[in-house]
Amino acid sequence: MSVQTTTTTGTSPATTVQFPPDFVWGMATASYQIEGAVAEDGRTPSIWDTFSRIPGAVLGGDTGDVACEHYHRMPADVALLADLGATSYRFSVAWPRVRPDAGPVNPAGLAFYDRLVDELLSHGIAPWLTLYHWDLPQVLEDAGGWTNRDTAHRFVEYAVSVHEALGDRVPTWTTLNEPWCSAFLGYSAGHHAPGRQEGAAGLVAGHHLLLAHGLATQELRSRGADRLGLSLNLTVPDPSDPADPVDVDAARRIDGLHNRFFLDPIFRGAYPADVLEDTAGLTWQDRPWLDAVRDGDLDVISAPIDVLGVNYYHGNEVSGHPRTDVVGIGADHPARVALSPFPGSEHVTFPSRGLPLTAMGWEIQPEGLHRLLRRLHDDYPHLPIHLTETGAAFDDRLDEQGRVHDPDRIAFLDSYLRAVHRAIEEGVDVRGFYQWSFCDNFEWAFGYAKRFGLVHVDYATQRRTPKSSAHWYAELARTGVLPAPEDAAD
């Protein structure tokens, strides 16, 4: 694999473009970020309930206890989704609500998702279900979490429970959302729940997450599911100096741990040889991390899938040298001591390229999305791709008239969608786009300080106010036409 270093714009010219008539226009959320009601109807704690109560773990001491009260406001939220033109809604199921303490099925918790699916269908919105968006039952973490191989088997039990209840009405099933975050932010760096800072434990957790995906894919396939996949957050690493072997090696390392650690086992049935070499000396609990990989595991992990979800927010310039002009990877808030989520490559830095930033401190890089989509098309099987997450946080505020004008978000989405459109024109099979997020919500370690939503949420009153971007996106969803920027501003 060679890391590309082109710097073309990667977007369609700033003219009106037409998306395919069957292109899916979606919005996305996650259970812990919006539902609230964390102790109602039998739900038991997740790792995020526990982590958010560690002093300093979440900015402002915020928790998801109330969040957006979606658990109680779901019908009105679905009606708003329909008003805003969504043709699909990607949501996640809370494992500790469906199987509290990873035990027997909880009918009251499962009933919420039953009602949600029916509500979506009654509004003509296709459900897209994610089984795991990071809220592992705390009782499983107490037994080792994703570093415990048994957790993969408990995940299959949970997946079957959800499929038995909803499989007749939900067409698309995502096993995992962003396993890189679950593994490396959760177990290597401690930026995310469960907050463990154990280096090679992230590699072990990553393998068990992939094993859980493969086992659940096989089991749900045997039960009649015919549209299965997972969502990977992928990056585009460019060496700071393409002529410097140290920087080139750093970009290779990040590509290996962030992208190919997941893509290659799923599509090629093997971990990348260079990643194995980079991490060969790493141990966890006094044993090589590779001891977690057993005979037959990679055959399970590479079980065929039907759709690939891609989450992309930005790429990175990458250096193997110490640098002070760095940008954050966006996982940890500034008040916490950040550890590297890249075991064996902790020396790598991420210099700023001077690009415009979102409120998360992430560089806005649409051309990276175009290159990523082309790479997936060129290097891996030609599966249908959906952009299951992209979006941007900005400092949105209600004005004196009670409106939220967010032209920066419109410009962001316009540029990223032009990158998608260019890839489609070049033959990449991209079939949908899911804006993150439907509404402002609990943004993990940043609490409620960052707003990604098309819909503004006043957390004191729970009032929903569609932003200018929501109306822009609704028109795009209804017509499939991305207007020229000057037209969008009118």
Kindly report the number of other CB atoms within 10 A of residue 57's CB atom. Answer: 25
Pairwise CA distance, residues 311 & 465, whole Å: 26
How far CA 71 is from CA of 36, 75, 79, 270, in Å, comes to: 6, 9, 14, 41
What one-letter code names the amino acid at 137? P
Distance in angstroms between the alpha carbons of the first and the last residue of the chain = 45
Pairwise CA distance, residues 274 & 271, whole Å: 9
Residues annotated as part of the active site: 178, 389
Say if CB 236 and CB 365 are below 8 A apart.
yes
Beta partners for residue 284, in sequence order: 287
Pairwise CA distance, residues 305 & 292, whole Å: 23
How far CA 359 is from CA of 61, 104, 215, 265, 336, in Å, comes to: 19, 42, 38, 34, 17
Instruction: For residue 24, give the 3-state DSSP assignment.
Output: strand
Pairwise CA distance, residues 177 & 189, whole Å: 18
Phi-psi region of 446 (alpha: psi -120 to 50; beta: other; left: phi over 0): alpha
Pairwise CA distance, residues 421 & 11, whole Å: 8
How is residue 240 written in tokens? 């700071």
Instruction: For residue 122, give the 3-state DSSP assignment.
Output: helix
- Give the burial string for 60-93 (b: 16+ CB within 10 Å, else e): eebbbebbbbbbbbbeebbebbbebbbbbbbbbb
Pairwise CA distance, residues 438 & 446, whole Å: 18
